[in-house]
Amino acid sequence: MFSVEVGAMNFSLTPNLEQFIRDRASSGDYNNASEVVREAIRLLKRVEEQRALKLERLRAAISAGDEDIARGDSILLNNEKELDAYFAKL
């Protein structure tokens, strides 16, 4: 395992990850291994932000659906056949 120290944090990388970082750094796309790691963390941060946004939107949609049901503004479909018939009408 390959260990990396960042401030007060220590990370251990598998040989495969270490080689990947070295390969990316030597590809010319990055100046060094630190740039590769920083880019990886930026990408992870972006993925986490997108996941949080999707979850927020899903929760809002569920809340809106619950409100529709509470107002009686919904259709009860009991099985797949009824669902297919409903979509056929659209």
Over its length of 90 residues, how does the chain's per-residue pLDDT go in tens digits? 667 676 777 888 889 999 999 999 999 999 988 899 899 999 999 999 999 999 999 999 999 999 999 999 999 999 999 999 999 998
Q: What local confidence, expressed as pLDDT, does residue 78 receive?
A: 95
Domain count across the chain = 1
For residue 81, the SS3 value is helix
What is the value of pTM for the model shown? 0.69
With 0-12 CB in 10 A as exposed, 13-18 as middle and 19+ as buried, what is 25? middle
Q: What local confidence, expressed as pLDDT, does residue 50 receive?
A: 98
Q: What local confidence, expressed as pLDDT, does residue 9 receive?
A: 79
Which domain, by its residues, includes 14?
Answer: 2-89
**73: its two tokens:** 């503004």
